[in-house]
Structure 1
Amino acid sequence: MLLRCVAVDDEPLALDIIKAYVGKTPTLTLVQTFDDAIAASEFLRITAIDLLFVDINMPDISGIDLVRALEKKPMVIFTTAYKNFAYEGFQLEAIDYLLKPIAFEFFAKAVNKAVDFLEYKNRSKPELEESLYVNSEYRLVKINLREIDYIESLEDYIKIHIAGSKPILTLLSMKKVLEKLPADKFKRIHRSFIVAIAKVVAIQNRKALLTSGKELPISDSYTSFIQDWIQASSK
């Protein structure tokens, strides 16, 4: 797989580093570089690319504003000299953020994420159901579906509880995450909970007991889950 990429940065040295790193990366081909965000925006409006490296802080328009204005958005890796990122950048679902001065090790990891994500999007449906991609802590995170115990709603956010690991918090609704999950493996059992059917070991007193020991309530609106669980358990 070869990704067509563009780099945008008002600092010549930063562009030279990106050029050098792209030259060392077999999965990338550099289409164009820009030190002017406005010129870059016009080029991207008429040219299809796969991946955009763009600095956040530029004199004319910010990298975040540039990406937000694009009608057809490529995958984006933001570069920045600052550790604090704007909330708007999180909403743009960037693949990654690279902190200047950029080390090749982190550049390569970010590119590998982009390659993985593009392969994920291009796969057939059965393979798509193996993983879930979400944005968390300003990065794209890949989650193996088999590791998910349950998902908890926190108003505008959801918390994805992972077996033996720290929960992942992401800006996503319960409705949207259900659309990304295979319906035969995950069910909503409460306005605040989605559960992995395979992780339910028992149902008692309208509560689902998980392999982790966690108990989740089953509300009146989702009692059909009990029959779904019985059928799944009997296969």
Structure 2
Amino acid sequence: MVLRCIAIDDEPLALRLISEYVSRFPALQLTKTFDDAISGAEFLKSKPVDLLFIDINMPDITGIDLVRSLEVKPMVIFTTAYKNFAYEGFELEALDYILKPIDFKRFEKAVEKAIDYYRYKNNTTPEQPEESLYVYSEYRMVKIELNAIEYIESMEDYIKIHVANAKTVLTLMPLKKVLEKLPADKFQRIHRSYIVPVNKIRSIQNRKVKLTDVELPVSESYYDVIRNWMKFR
């Protein structure tokens, strides 16, 4: 597996640094670099890539506007000296958002995320069941191991993913949407506001499900499903 990538930045020093960093990863192939956004945009129209490293604040067109204009969007890692563009990056579902000066360890973390997400989206190991979930949180993509999910809670337009021994992940997504991303044999909706991992259900009584560390209500419409599932455990 090799990810084709390009870098667009109006700072020559930044391009050299990204080129040097990319060369350390056998899974990345840097096809080309561009010191102006217009040339990079023209290239991408005819030669789509898997991964794009792009600065945001450039003189001719911003990296945000360039990515927004692409019909076929690659995975995007924004590199910038400014923090105030994070929300725009979130809207475009950027894979990551790295502040300059770019530290190699931080760059490595972003690249590893890109490689993992590429495998996840392209199902490069179909013989293995899904073991993780990817969502956008805090202006970047977050990987969550399925076996670490305690339960998922709806907060109107947002959901809270409660993760064992880790910070709760908040993401803009309806509960129905995240349920579609989860393996049907491992997760069950029990209420209009809750999804639970079935292997963490300890008991069900009085229309409440007992998980490892919490009790959650069960809606009437889901009660029989959960009760019948418990019978055959």
Which range, TM-score by smaller chain? Answer: over 0.9
Quick one: percent identity of the two aligned structures? 65
Aligned match of 1:18: 18
Aligned match of 1:114: 114
Aligned match of 2:160: 159
Q: State the TM-score, normalized to the length of structure 2.
A: 0.93
Aligned match of 1:198: 199
> For residues 100 and 149 of structure 1, do their structure 2 counterparts lie closer, same or farther at Cα, with a shift above 3 Å needed?
same
Aligned match of 1:101: 101
- Distance in 1 between residues matched to 2:9 and 2:145, nearest whole Å: 35
Aligned match of 2:53: 53
Unaligned stretches of 5+ residues in structure 1 = none
In the alignment, is the contact (CA less than 8 A) between 1:121 and 1:128 conserved in 2? no
Aligned match of 2:140: 139
Amino acid at match of 1:6: I
Moved more, 184-193 or 84-93: 84-93
Unaligned stretches of 5+ residues in structure 2 = none
Moved segments of 4+, more than 4 Å: none
- Distance in 1 between residues matched to 2:228 and 2:148, nearest whole Å: 20
- Distance in 2 between residues matched to 1:219 and 1:8, nearest whole Å: 51
- Distance in 1 between residues matched to 2:18 and 2:71, nearest whole Å: 25
Show the 5 A alignment for 1:72-87: 72-87=72-87
- Distance in 2 between residues matched to 1:194 and 1:126, nearest whole Å: 26
Moved more, 120-129 or 82-91: 120-129
In the alignment, is the contact (CA less than 8 A) between 1:120 and 1:128 conserved in 2? no
Measured after TM superposition, the shift of residue 57 of structure 1 is 1.2
Amino acid at match of 1:65: D
- Distance in 2 between residues matched to 1:220 and 1:31, nearest whole Å: 56
Aligned match of 2:70: 70
Q: State the TM-score, normalized to the length of structure 1.
A: 0.92
1:127 aligned counterpart, secondary structure = coil
Measured after TM superposition, the shift of residue 86 of structure 1 is 3.4
Measured after TM superposition, the shift of residue 198 of structure 1 is 1.1
Aligned match of 2:149: 148
- Distance in 1 between residues matched to 2:228 and 2:92, nearest whole Å: 36
- Distance in 2 between residues matched to 1:172 and 1:145, nearest whole Å: 17
> For residues 126 and 188 of structure 1, do their structure 2 counterparts lie closer, same or farther at Cα, with a shift above 3 Å needed?
farther
Measured after TM superposition, the shift of residue 225 of structure 1 is 3.0
Aligned match of 1:217: 217
In the alignment, is the contact (CA less than 8 A) between 2:203 and 2:210 conserved in 1? yes
Moved more, 118-127 or 4-13: 118-127
Moved more, 32-41 or 152-161: 32-41
After superposition, the C-alpha distances for 1:33-73 in whole angstroms (9 at most, x for unaligned) are 11221221121111121110001111222212211211111
Amino acid at match of 1:168: V
2:216 aligned counterpart, secondary structure = strand
In the alignment, is the contact (CA less than 8 A) between 1:160 and 1:167 conserved in 2? yes
Aligned match of 1:186: 187
CA RMSD of aligned residues (A): 1.6
In the alignment, is the contact (CA less than 8 A) between 1:187 and 1:225 conserved in 2? no
Moved more, 87-96 or 151-160: 87-96
> For residues 222 and 100 of structure 1, do their structure 2 counterparts lie closer, same or farther at Cα, with a shift above 3 Å needed?
same
> For residues 126 and 211 of structure 1, do their structure 2 counterparts lie closer, same or farther at Cα, with a shift above 3 Å needed?
farther
Aligned match of 2:173: 172
In the alignment, is the contact (CA less than 8 A) between 2:131 and 2:145 conserved in 1? yes
Amino acid at match of 1:66: L
